[in-house]
């Protein structure tokens, strides 16, 4: 990875400005019960993430989209449309654990680094095949999409362990993805042409990881840990959903 943390931070600042321009008017106030729930779950997972020098901020966006994402610098955005899918704190922990995992693994920096490789690769393929369009398709299917699926799978794995360490039920991740599968219409898209793993492969993989996640949860002394988290969560936010 040849992207410095400084470059990554600057990329995050620019992305933050664009996101606020688009969604700023739809940010749910941090005193709203739904926003409070999102912040509470995020705090518990952040507390076990090991990332202590990140200026975390969590925003709930009033939008029907069933999505959430994180940008460099620890800015997490959750769309309200996903709340009926997650159903409870455990399901929400599956989503937030996944997003926080992206920050831990610096996947945004990986993608930026990959873009440099793609630009060079497209140039080489265009010279070889003398067909720019074919080169773009070949690069997209052969490198860009699989790379994205790998980072998503890695985030699923790290996120599952995080939610377990934070004393959430890791089995909720499987149930959440099953609900997502039922809600989304069949796209008839080949899974190899998707930037995310298919729901079936995701459910199967997470199910295989459950024993390990459950062992982590059992080792976390959750009764005492949850009490400490509750004390931590009573601290007031300074600014908009900021940790």
Are the C-beta atoms of 209 and 162 separated by less than 8 Å? no
49 closest CA partner among 130, 152, 136, 164: 164
- Give 161: exposed, middle or buried? Use CB within 10 Å, 0-12, 13-18, 19+: buried
Token pair 């090991």 is found at: 50
What is the SS3 assignment for 72?
Answer: coil
Largest Cα separation within the chain, whole Å, is 64
Token pair 């989503």 is found at: 95
Q: How far apart are CA 45 and CA 48, in angstroms?
A: 5
Based on the residue annotation, tell me whether 99 is a catalytic residue of this protein: yes
Catalytic annotation, pick one of 57, 99, 110, 152: 99
Q: How far apart are CA 37 and CA 42, in angstroms?
A: 9
Are the C-beta atoms of 106 and 71 separated by less than 8 Å? no
Cite the active site residues. 99
């Amino acid at each position: 990875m040849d992207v410095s943390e400084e470059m990554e931070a600057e990329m995050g600042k620019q992305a933050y400005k664009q996101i606020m321009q688009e969604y700023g008017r739809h940010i749910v106030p941090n005193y709203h019960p739904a926003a409070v729930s999102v912040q509470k779950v995020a705090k518990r997972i952040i507390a076990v993430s090991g990332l202590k020098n990140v200026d975390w901020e969590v925003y709930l966006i009033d939008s029907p989209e069933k999505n959430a994402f994180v940008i460099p610098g620890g800015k997490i955005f959750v769309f309200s449309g996903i709340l009926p899918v997650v159903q409870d704190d455990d399901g929400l922990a599956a989503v937030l654990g996944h997003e926080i995992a992206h920050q831990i693994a610096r996947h945004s920096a990986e993608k930026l680094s990959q873009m440099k490789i793609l630009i060079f690769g497209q140039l080489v393929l265009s010279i070889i095949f003398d067909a720019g369009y074919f080169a773009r398709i070949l690069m997209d299917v052969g490198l860009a999409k699989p790379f994205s699926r790998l980072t998503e799978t890695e985030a699923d794995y790290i996120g599952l362990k995080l939610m377990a360490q934070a004393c959430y039920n890791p089995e909720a991740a499987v149930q959440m993805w099953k609900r997502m599968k039922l809600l989304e219409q069949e796209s008839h898209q080949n899974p190899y042409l998707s930037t995310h793993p298919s729901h079936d492969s995701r459910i199967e993989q997470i199910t295989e990881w459950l024993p390990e996640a459950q062992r982590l949860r059992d080792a976390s002394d959750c009764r005492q840990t949850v009490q400490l988290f509750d004390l931590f969560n009573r601290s007031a936010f300074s600014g908009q959903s900021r940790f």
